[in-house]
Amino acid sequence: MAYRNLREFIERLEAAGELVRVSTPVSAELEITEITDRISKQPHHRNKALLFERVEGSEFPLVINLFGNPRRAAMAFEVGDLDELNVRLSRLIDLRLPRGLGPMLSRAGDVFGALRSIGLGPKMIRSAPVQEVVITENPDVHLMPVLKCWPHDGGRYLTLTQVITRDPATGIRNVGMYRIQVYDGQTLGLHWQRHKGGREHQQSGVEAGRTKIPVAVVLGGDPASIWAASAPLPPNIDEYLLAGWLRGRPVEFVKCVSQDLEVPAHAEFVIEGWFDPNEHRLEGPFGDHTGFYTPRDLFPVMHVTAITHRRNAIYPTTIVGKPPMEDVWMGKATERLFLPLMKLFMGEIRDVNMPPEGVFHNLVLVSIRKRFPGHAQKIMYGLWGLGLMMLAKAIVVVDEDVDVQNVEAVAQRILETVDWRRDVTIVDGPVDQLDHSAILDSFGGKIGVDATRKPERAPFPDPVPVNEVVMSAAFSNWRCWRDAVVIVGLNKARCTPEEAVRIVWDIAPDKDVLLLDAGVDFSNLSDVAWRVLGNVDWRRDVILQRGMFDPYDMRPDVPRTRIAIDATTKGPEDGHPRGWPEELAMSPEVVERVTARWSEYGLGNL
């Protein structure tokens, strides 16, 4: 039975032992982040949703980490396991779209047309629980327990949002999960990035000469609707239609009380208002899902005209930061659900994995049924042309016998098959606006790696063990991983990246090289992967062995080319003009306070 609202989901989580109530008073300023961050990093069975019943300064309870492990994410969609989403949508596509129906590019649209035709489109109702309390005089967002998430955040932020707008030109609705900065009780920052639907509506408003565009920030509702705001659907397709299909029941809407807009009727809170597409204000900094602070930048401003809420509303929120956090599992649901859509355009795709270390866009692992040389490259270019996949910074393609959900197996296959000169495609293009390594804002170097088998080539020679004595004489901080990759902690005051790479290749010419900042702990490979994927612009930060090598020399016995990747922090001296953001860390006082209070929270020993 579909959840009607957030509280039904909470009840079911609690009954399943997936939610813990915290009844001791807690602060919305950093304390909830520190508690939730610790819980998010626990094994799945200890990682719970948290309902904070008493948050200082607000009468409303706060719920967080709702989607934070695979079981809860599956429960949100009422499936046994997230891969069922892939199976269900594949079945719908097969059922509704006989082969040859319409041109390829309209097929995704046809899928959603099919959903509408079976009555799953949003439905209007007249009276709504979310309007039990209506505040139009001096509405003040501070009535909610809005979090300050990280110590250097520019203020408090609403995070688990559904931000609804209509395109001023076409009237088509968009909903996006965008963080909202609270400037004051009636003035908010709308952080829709430049590739997103809200931004497109803003632009459309500028072109139409509009000065007041309605916007609503919705908090709560059924979990499929909450998630749908984060779904990267093509523009002009209503995410609530997808939510309706996922629930098997249409999402019910009600008219706003102060704006010409409709909002989900069973939400907990709705903030109504308008924005002028030409008005901007500095937004940020914010501790982001990249694990770094995003710096301040100009974004539009929302002026609040009303707040409506349920009488006993529960405030839903999330925190983002170094993975894994709750958004990993929201992203996993997206990955599973979008797999059939990717297959619609590229039938040779078998599976896709976007591992947490890649924070969505930084790494896409794809398995394919390979049929011809260059097939992997065809997939890379296809994905880079597919909706928000355009932001994928690294795409690795393997044969279908590799399970891409097993990152170790993919890494092993890369070591076995990749010649870093012949099998690598480096391109420039759009990257996520949050990508701090790109030389320009939202534009940078990307990499495609063809790790499929190439039977026409001679096998690579066995690796030669590294001479540890010589390496240790050259570097104080290094290790060799799987006899294949030399990782060096680099002190750039003593040695440039180019010098370090030359030294390693003088000693161990058959190794790939990874340069990291001197203090990084190499024993945590997940952390190493997160740093490499986040800190590298794949055009600027890569050195290939034997620079004069002819990439079109396809003789089977051409020696293997090795790669060196500079994943250190960059400054202007490294050709990075934009400034480098600060890595997220909780303030020591809060860490100490939470440790001292831990037994009061009732969350067991970690």
Ligand X SMILES: Cc1cc2nc3c(=O)[nH]c(=O)nc-3n(C[C@H](O)[C@H](O)[C@H](O)COP(=O)(O)O)c2cc1C
Q: What is the DSSP letter of 292?
A: B
177 binds ligand X (CB under 6 A): yes
Q: Which element (helix H / strand E) includes 574? A: none
Residue-level length of the chain: 606
Q: Provide the minimum distance between the beta carbon of 320 and ligand X in the complex, in angstroms, as a whole number.
A: 6
165 lies in the site for ligand X, by CB under 6 A: no
CB 361 within 8 A of CB 330: no
Q: What is the DSSP letter of 322?
A: S
Q: Which is nearer to ligand X, 121 or 234 (CB)?
A: 234
Query: Which span (230-238, 261-269, 532-540, 561-569) binds ligand X, by CB under 6 A?
Result: 230-238
Tell me if 414 contacts ligand X by CB under 6 A: no
Binding mask 282-321 for ligand X (x = CB under 6 A): ------------------------------------x-x-
SS3 assignment, position 358? helix
Q: How far is the CB of 250 from ligand X (least distance, A)?
A: 19
Q: Which residues contact 92 (CB under 8 A, 6 or more apart)?
A: 111, 114, 115, 245
Task: State which residue, 231 or 394, has the beta carbon closest to ligand X.
Answer: 231
From 205-213, 228-236, 254-262, 559-567, give the range in contact with ligand X by CB under 6 A.
Answer: 228-236
Does 51 bind ligand X (CB under 6 A)? Our answer is: no
Burial of 86 (0-12, 13-18, 19+ CB in 10 A): buried
Scanning residues 86 to 105, which ones bind ligand X (CB under 6 A)?
Answer: none
Q: Which stretch binds ligand X (CB under 6 A): 176-184, 247-255, 266-274, 474-482?
A: 176-184
Of 191 and 309, CB closest to ligand X: 191
Binders in 313-372 for ligand X, by CB under 6 A: 318, 320, 327, 330
Q: Per rule CB under 6 A, is residue 412 in the interface with ligand X?
A: no
Is the CB of 339 or the CB of 528 nearer to ligand X?
Answer: 339
Which is nearest to 6 in space by CA: 269, 262, 253, 182? Answer: 269
36 belongs to the binding site for ligand X (CB under 6 A): no
Measured from the CB atom, is 164 or 515 closer to ligand X?
Answer: 164
Query: C-beta of 436: minimal distance to ligand X in Å?
Result: 15
Which among 194-202, 308-316, 404-412, 455-463 is the span making contact with ligand X, rule CB under 6 A?
194-202
Residue in 40, 165, 225, 230 binding ligand X, rule: CB under 6 A: 230
Q: Contact region for ligand X (CB under 6 A) — 20-28, 193-201, 264-272, 496-504?
A: 193-201
Torsion sign across C-alpha atoms 323, 329, 330, 332 = positive
Among residues 191, 322, 492, 511, the one that binds ligand X under rule CB under 6 A? 191
Which one of the spans 187-195, 255-263, 273-281, 335-343 is the region binding ligand X (CB under 6 A)?
187-195
Shortest distance (Å) from residue 429 CB to ligand X: 17
Active site residue 288: yes
Classify residue 81 as exposed, middle or buried by CB count within 10 Å of its CB (0-12, 13-18, 19+).
middle
Site for ligand X (CB under 6 A): how many residues?
A: 19
Sequence-separated (6 or more) residues with CB below 8 Å from residue 347: none
Catalytic residue among 167, 238, 288, 566: 288
Give the Cα-Cα-Cα angle 20, 22, 23 (nearest 5 degrees): 135
- Judged by DSSP in three states, 177 sits in coil
CA–CA separation, 270 vs 279, rounded Å?
22
Contact 274, 215 (CB under 8 A): yes
8 Å CB contact between 437 and 443: no
CB-side neighbour CA atoms (13 Å) of 94: 8
Q: Of the candidates 77, 112, 150, 192, which one interacts with ligand X according to CB under 6 A?
A: 192
**Binding of ligand X at residue 33 (CB under 6 A)?**
no
Residue number with CB closer to ligand X (120 or 320): 320
| Helix or strand run (H / E) with residue 319 | none
Of 42, 193, 377, 569, which one interacts with ligand X (CB under 6 A)?
A: 193
**For ligand X, which stretch binds (CB under 6 A), given 88-96, 188-196, 406-414, 439-447?**
188-196
Segment lying near ligand X (by CB under 6 A), choices 190-198, 251-259, 344-352, 490-498: 190-198
For position 386 contacting ligand X by CB under 6 A, the verdict is no
CB of 76 to ligand X, least distance (A): 13
- Asked if 179 touches ligand X (CB under 6 A), the answer is yes
Q: How far is the CB of 159 from ligand X (least distance, A)?
A: 6
Residue type, 561: T
Q: Return the residue of 12, 173, 196, 446 that touches ligand X, per CB under 6 A.
A: 196
Nearer to ligand X, 320 or 567 (CB): 320
Asked if residue 214 lies in contact with residue 261, where contact means CB atoms within 8 angstroms, the answer is yes
Is there binding between residue 176 and ligand X (CB under 6 A)? Answer: yes
On whether the CB atoms of residues 528 and 514 are closer than 8 A, the answer is yes
Q: List binders of ligand X among 535-574 (CB under 6 A).
A: none
Q: How many CA atoms lie within 13 A of 401 on its CB side?
A: 5
Nearer to ligand X, 203 or 477 (CB): 203
Terminal Cα-to-Cα distance of the chain (whole angstroms) = 35
Angle, vertex CA 138, rays to CA 137 and CA 144, nearest 5: 115
Q: Give least dist CB 199 to ligand X, A.
A: 7
Smallest distance from ligand X to CB 297, Å: 11
- Closer of 198 and 489 to ligand X (Cβ): 198
**Comparing C-alpha atoms, which of 134, 16, 8 is closest to residue 63?**
8
Q: Is 492 in the site for ligand X (CB under 6 A)?
A: no
Phi, psi of 440 (to 5 degrees): -110, 155
Q: How far is CA 461 from CA 168, 269, 458, 583, in A?
A: 62, 63, 9, 40
Nearer to ligand X, 3 or 360 (CB): 360
What is the Cα–Cα distance from 548 to 105, expressed in whole angstroms?
41
Which is it for strands 297-309 and 187-190: parallel, antiparallel or unpaired? Answer: antiparallel
CB 227 to ligand X: min, Å: 8
- The H or E element containing residue 416 is helix 407-417
Q: Which is nearer to ligand X, 238 or 419 (CB)?
A: 238
Token pair recorded at residue 591: 């860490």
Strand ranges across the sheet with 262-264: 123-124, 252-255, 262-264
Alpha helices (runs of H) in 1-124, residue ranges in sequence order: 6-15, 31-40, 70-76, 83-96, 107-117
Q: Which residue has the tokens 């290749």?
A: 505
Catalytic positions, written as ranges:
288
* Residues near ligand X (CB under 6 A): 159, 174, 176-179, 191-193, 196-198, 230-232, 318, 320, 327, 330
